[in-house]
Structure 1
Protein backbone atom coordinates (compact mmCIF):
# COMPACT_ATOMS: atom_id res chain seq x y z
CA UNK A 1 0.00 0.00 0.00
CA UNK A 2 1.40 3.33 -0.96
CA UNK A 3 -0.09 6.79 -0.79
CA UNK A 4 1.46 9.84 -2.39
CA UNK A 5 0.41 13.39 -1.55
CA UNK A 6 0.71 16.64 -3.45
CA UNK A 7 -0.19 20.13 -2.28
CA UNK A 8 -1.29 22.93 -4.60
CA UNK A 9 -2.18 26.41 -3.45
CA UNK A 10 -3.42 29.72 -4.73
CA UNK A 11 -2.33 32.90 -2.99
CA UNK A 12 -4.10 36.24 -2.85
CA UNK A 13 -3.39 39.11 -0.46
CA UNK A 14 -6.56 38.24 1.49
CA UNK A 15 -6.48 34.41 1.43
CA UNK A 16 -4.52 31.27 0.61
CA UNK A 17 -6.45 28.29 -0.81
CA UNK A 18 -5.02 24.79 -0.35
CA UNK A 19 -5.79 21.62 -2.33
CA UNK A 20 -4.28 18.39 -0.98
CA UNK A 21 -4.43 15.43 -3.37
CA UNK A 22 -3.83 11.92 -2.09
CA UNK A 23 -3.20 9.18 -4.65
CA UNK A 24 -3.09 5.43 -4.20
CA UNK A 25 -0.05 4.62 -6.33
CA UNK A 26 0.02 0.98 -5.25
CA UNK A 27 -1.44 -2.15 -6.83
CA UNK A 28 -4.06 -2.84 -4.13
CA UNK A 29 -7.05 -0.85 -2.83
CA UNK A 30 -6.33 1.24 0.28
CA UNK A 31 -8.91 1.83 3.01
CA UNK A 32 -8.75 5.17 4.82
CA UNK A 33 -10.35 5.05 8.29
CA UNK A 34 -11.40 8.27 10.01
CA UNK A 35 -12.68 8.85 13.56
CA UNK A 36 -14.25 12.23 12.74
CA UNK A 37 -15.24 14.52 9.88
CA UNK A 38 -11.68 15.91 9.91
CA UNK A 39 -10.09 14.07 6.99
CA UNK A 40 -7.10 16.35 6.42
CA UNK A 41 -5.38 19.29 8.06
CA UNK A 42 -3.35 22.22 6.76
CA UNK A 43 -0.56 23.86 8.75
CA UNK A 44 1.48 26.95 7.91
CA UNK A 45 4.97 27.11 9.36
CA UNK A 46 7.01 30.27 9.74
CA UNK A 47 10.56 28.99 10.15
CA UNK A 48 10.15 26.15 12.64
CA UNK A 49 7.14 27.65 14.43
CA UNK A 50 3.51 27.07 13.62
CA UNK A 51 1.89 30.25 12.27
CA UNK A 52 -1.60 28.87 11.51
CA UNK A 53 -3.55 25.59 11.57
CA UNK A 54 -6.74 25.07 9.56
CA UNK A 55 -8.41 22.84 12.19
CA UNK A 56 -7.67 25.09 15.19
CA UNK A 57 -10.87 26.34 16.79
CA UNK A 58 -13.09 24.14 14.59
CA UNK A 59 -15.40 21.42 15.78
CA UNK A 60 -15.76 18.18 13.82
CA UNK A 61 -18.54 15.60 13.96
CA UNK A 62 -17.40 12.45 15.74
CA UNK A 63 -18.28 9.59 13.42
CA UNK A 64 -16.39 6.53 12.25
CA UNK A 65 -16.01 6.51 8.49
CA UNK A 66 -14.03 4.61 5.87
CA UNK A 67 -13.18 5.51 2.29
CA UNK A 68 -11.55 3.16 -0.18
CA UNK A 69 -9.08 4.29 -2.84
CA UNK A 70 -8.64 1.93 -5.78
CA UNK A 71 -5.19 1.68 -7.39
CA UNK A 72 -4.52 4.92 -9.27
CA UNK A 73 -7.49 6.68 -7.65
CA UNK A 74 -7.17 10.10 -6.01
CA UNK A 75 -9.09 12.08 -3.43
CA UNK A 76 -8.73 15.80 -2.74
CA UNK A 77 -9.16 17.88 0.40
CA UNK A 78 -9.46 21.67 0.48
CA UNK A 79 -8.72 24.35 3.05
CA UNK A 80 -8.40 28.12 3.21
CA UNK A 81 -6.36 30.56 5.28
CA UNK A 82 -8.18 33.89 5.47
CA UNK A 83 -6.18 37.05 6.21
CA UNK A 84 -2.73 35.44 5.82
CA UNK A 85 0.36 37.02 7.31
CA UNK A 86 2.82 38.40 4.74
CA UNK A 87 6.08 36.56 4.30
CA UNK A 88 7.58 33.28 3.14
CA UNK A 89 6.01 30.19 4.69
CA UNK A 90 5.92 26.40 4.43
CA UNK A 91 2.51 24.78 3.99
CA UNK A 92 2.05 21.22 5.26
CA UNK A 93 -0.98 19.09 4.41
CA UNK A 94 -1.59 15.91 6.41
CA UNK A 95 -4.04 13.07 5.95
CA UNK A 96 -5.90 12.52 9.23
CA UNK A 97 -6.72 8.82 8.68
CA UNK A 98 -6.03 6.67 11.71
CA UNK A 99 -4.57 3.80 9.68
CA UNK A 100 -2.61 5.53 6.87
CA UNK A 101 -0.07 8.33 6.67
CA UNK A 102 0.38 10.85 3.90
CA UNK A 103 1.83 14.35 3.90
CA UNK A 104 2.80 17.01 1.37
CA UNK A 105 4.75 20.26 1.78
CA UNK A 106 5.39 23.33 -0.29
CA UNK A 107 6.89 26.77 0.24
CA UNK A 108 4.99 29.91 -0.68
CA UNK A 109 4.97 33.68 -0.21
CA UNK A 110 2.14 36.11 0.45
Structure 2
Protein backbone atom coordinates (compact mmCIF):
# COMPACT_ATOMS: atom_id res chain seq x y z
CA UNK A 1 0.00 0.00 0.00
CA UNK A 2 1.12 3.53 -0.77
CA UNK A 3 0.07 6.68 1.07
CA UNK A 4 -1.59 9.01 -1.44
CA UNK A 5 -2.64 11.88 0.85
CA UNK A 6 -4.32 12.81 4.11
CA UNK A 7 -8.01 13.65 4.25
CA UNK A 8 -7.27 17.19 5.39
CA UNK A 9 -5.73 17.86 1.94
CA UNK A 10 -8.82 16.51 0.16
CA UNK A 11 -11.86 18.34 1.49
CA UNK A 12 -15.40 17.30 0.54
CA UNK A 13 -16.41 18.14 -3.07
CA UNK A 14 -12.77 18.73 -3.98
CA UNK A 15 -10.58 17.07 -6.61
CA UNK A 16 -6.81 16.85 -6.52
CA UNK A 17 -4.17 15.55 -8.89
CA UNK A 18 -1.21 13.41 -7.84
CA UNK A 19 1.93 12.33 -9.66
CA UNK A 20 3.49 8.99 -8.68
CA UNK A 21 6.61 8.33 -10.74
CA UNK A 22 5.27 8.67 -14.30
CA UNK A 23 1.65 7.95 -13.37
CA UNK A 24 -0.86 10.75 -12.97
CA UNK A 25 -3.89 10.22 -10.69
CA UNK A 26 -6.99 12.16 -9.72
CA UNK A 27 -8.68 11.80 -6.32
CA UNK A 28 -12.14 13.14 -5.50
CA UNK A 29 -13.86 13.43 -2.14
CA UNK A 30 -17.60 13.21 -2.84
CA UNK A 31 -19.98 13.09 0.13
CA UNK A 32 -17.21 11.76 2.36
CA UNK A 33 -16.24 8.94 -0.03
CA UNK A 34 -12.86 8.95 -1.76
CA UNK A 35 -12.54 7.92 -5.41
CA UNK A 36 -9.20 7.59 -7.22
CA UNK A 37 -8.74 7.25 -10.98
CA UNK A 38 -5.94 7.27 -13.49
CA UNK A 39 -5.78 10.84 -14.84
CA UNK A 40 -6.41 9.79 -18.43
CA UNK A 41 -9.47 10.23 -20.63
CA UNK A 42 -10.45 6.88 -22.19
CA UNK A 43 -11.37 8.67 -25.44
CA UNK A 44 -8.10 10.45 -26.22
CA UNK A 45 -5.68 9.26 -23.54
CA UNK A 46 -5.04 12.85 -22.43
CA UNK A 47 -5.02 14.27 -18.87
CA UNK A 48 -8.46 15.32 -17.63
CA UNK A 49 -7.88 18.57 -15.74
CA UNK A 50 -8.51 22.13 -16.89
CA UNK A 51 -5.70 23.41 -14.70
CA UNK A 52 -3.98 21.90 -11.66
CA UNK A 53 -6.51 20.15 -9.39
CA UNK A 54 -9.50 21.27 -11.53
CA UNK A 55 -11.16 18.01 -12.55
CA UNK A 56 -14.80 18.66 -11.67
CA UNK A 57 -17.57 20.37 -13.62
CA UNK A 58 -18.93 23.68 -12.31
CA UNK A 59 -21.57 21.99 -10.12
CA UNK A 60 -18.98 19.50 -8.78
CA UNK A 61 -21.20 16.57 -9.76
CA UNK A 62 -18.96 14.99 -12.43
CA UNK A 63 -15.34 14.63 -13.47
CA UNK A 64 -15.01 16.57 -16.72
CA UNK A 65 -12.44 16.13 -19.47
CA UNK A 66 -10.89 19.49 -20.39
CA UNK A 67 -10.20 18.39 -23.97
CA UNK A 68 -13.75 17.67 -25.12
CA UNK A 69 -16.05 18.14 -22.12
CA UNK A 70 -16.92 14.47 -21.53
CA UNK A 71 -18.59 13.94 -18.16
CA UNK A 72 -17.74 10.96 -15.95
CA UNK A 73 -19.67 9.89 -12.86
CA UNK A 74 -17.50 10.35 -9.79
CA UNK A 75 -18.81 7.18 -8.14
CA UNK A 76 -17.79 4.71 -10.86
CA UNK A 77 -15.94 6.66 -13.60
CA UNK A 78 -18.46 5.90 -16.36
CA UNK A 79 -18.79 8.47 -19.16
CA UNK A 80 -22.39 9.70 -19.31
CA UNK A 81 -21.98 12.55 -21.83
CA UNK A 82 -19.53 13.43 -24.59
CA UNK A 83 -17.78 11.41 -27.30
CA UNK A 84 -17.17 8.26 -25.26
CA UNK A 85 -20.47 7.27 -23.54
CA UNK A 86 -20.20 4.03 -21.60
CA UNK A 87 -16.39 4.10 -21.50
CA UNK A 88 -14.80 4.12 -18.06
CA UNK A 89 -12.02 5.93 -16.28
CA UNK A 90 -9.50 3.50 -14.80
CA UNK A 91 -10.41 3.16 -11.13
CA UNK A 92 -7.62 2.74 -8.58
CA UNK A 93 -8.80 0.92 -5.45
CA UNK A 94 -8.20 2.92 -2.29
CA UNK A 95 -8.95 2.78 1.40
CA UNK A 96 -9.08 5.37 4.13
CA UNK A 97 -7.49 4.59 7.49
CA UNK A 98 -6.97 7.03 10.34
CA UNK A 99 -7.45 10.06 8.11
CA UNK A 100 -5.10 8.83 5.37
CA UNK A 101 -5.89 7.71 1.81
CA UNK A 102 -3.98 4.60 0.71
CA UNK A 103 -3.74 3.01 -2.74
CA UNK A 104 -2.37 -0.35 -3.78
CA UNK A 105 0.61 0.16 -6.11
CA UNK A 106 0.19 -3.32 -7.61
CA UNK A 107 -3.34 -2.41 -8.73
CA UNK A 108 -1.93 0.79 -10.19
CA UNK A 109 0.69 -1.15 -12.16
CA UNK A 110 -2.03 -3.45 -13.52
CA UNK A 111 -4.12 -0.45 -14.60
CA UNK A 112 -1.51 1.07 -16.90
TM bin (shorter chain): under 0.3
Greater RCO structure (CA 8 Å; 6+ sep):
1
Kindly indicate which of the two structures has a greater share of residues assigned to strand.
1
- Structure index of larger Rg: 1
Scaled by the length of structure 2, what TM-score is found? 0.25
Kindly indicate which of the two structures has a greater share of residues assigned to helix.
2
